[in-house]
Amino acid sequence: MAGSTQTVSEYITHHLTNLTYGKLPGGFERRGEDGAITTVGDGGAWVMANGATEASAMGFSAIHVDSMMWSIGLGIIFCWLFRRVAKKAETGVPSGMVNAVEMIVEFVDSTVRDTFHGQNKMIAPLALTIFVWVLLMNLMDLVPIDLVPKVLEIVAGVHFQKIVPSTDPNITLGMAVGVFILMLYYSVKIKGVGFLRELSFTPFNHWAFIPVNLFMEIVGLLAKPFSLGLRLFGNLYAGEMIFILIAALFSAGVGWMIPAGLLQVAWGIFHLLVIPLQAFIFMVLTIVYLSMAYEDH
């Protein structure tokens, strides 16, 4: 809930700021919590950013510690959980978590069989990893917006904490770039020189149109990772923003308590559809793009 000393704008800005570690340039003036100003030395300084301004000044060297921590942590949970279920699986009627995991595995496997037209044993495990990992990251959006940041601030003195990795474009675009690299690898591996021929003679099958073809095909190729990563980021970021705006209503007075609570519940229920849908879309597009790498024109 918004603090009494914060305006709504400050509350929103605070919740949209990542816990950032990076190098501040020499000569940068830092303002402490007590208002005191210190100047960074000539060599710069590697520090935790004290707000969005410092994070921006760090530039490309900045690392979003919270996004990295939560995404890696959720990945470890995924690996541990599925390994534990795999060790418990046995013949007979499954129950509980084993049944849920088997349903997910069968669902992903059938999707891969229907969508991927090549022969590659890595695609199904990759699709399963992407689906469950993105799903777990998206599910963090259902945790009350102030709960984890407030607990970490009280216990560890951490002032900034974004717990939904998929609302960070660095995470979503990083995953998309990984898929893009696999696309290029399998395109070259399967098609060889035919991949260059495909770029040069599609859609106009004539040597005079090679420059036009290359321009259109390369733009279309580069658009795939951007659309893949930004689609996931945009949907989850918008969802988180609405949760923050609804949470800010609680500070508007007692009369807004009930409407804000109802809005939180309603948006949470709607978001239960968005969360698995976005994970499914990311997985399916990954399978489709890799299948295209195997297809010859």
Domain extents for the chain? Answer: 8-294
As a whole number, mean pLDDT of residues 197-205 equals 86
Q: Tens digits of per-residue pLDDT, 260-284?
A: 888 888 888 888 899 999 999 999 9
On whether the CB atoms of residues 142 and 47 are closer than 8 A, the answer is: no
The catalytically annotated residue of 61, 99, 205, 227 is 227
Given the residues 50, 120, 231, 251, the one annotated as active site: 231
Q: Give the pairing type, strands 20-24 and 63-64.
A: antiparallel
Q: Which tens digits make up the pLDDT trace of 158-174?
A: 888 999 999 999 999 99
99 is catalytic: no
Identity of residue 128 = L
Cα separation, 77 vs 135, whole angstroms: 12
* Order of all β-strands in the sheet with 20-24: 45-48, 20-24, 63-64
Please state, in angstroms and rounded to a whole number, the distance separating the CA atoms of residues 255 and 249: 10
pLDDT tens-digit series, residues 20-36 = 999 998 888 888 777 77
Whether 213 is a known active-site residue: answer no
pLDDT tens figures, 76-134: 999 999 998 888 777 666 677 888 898 999 999 999 999 998 888 899 999 999 999 99
Q: Which residues of 85-104 are buried (b: 16+ CB within 10 A; e: fewer)?
A: beeeeeeeebeeebeebeeb
Average pLDDT value for residue range 231-257: 85
CB atoms within 10 A of CB 157: 7
Average pLDDT rounded to a whole number, residues 180-193: 91
Average pLDDT, the chain: 88
Which of 18, 187, 213, 235 is catalytic? The answer is 235
- Mapping DSSP to helix (H, G, I), strand (E, B) and coil, where does residue 201 land? coil
Chain center to CA of 100: 24
Helix (H) or strand (E) holding 24: strand 20-24
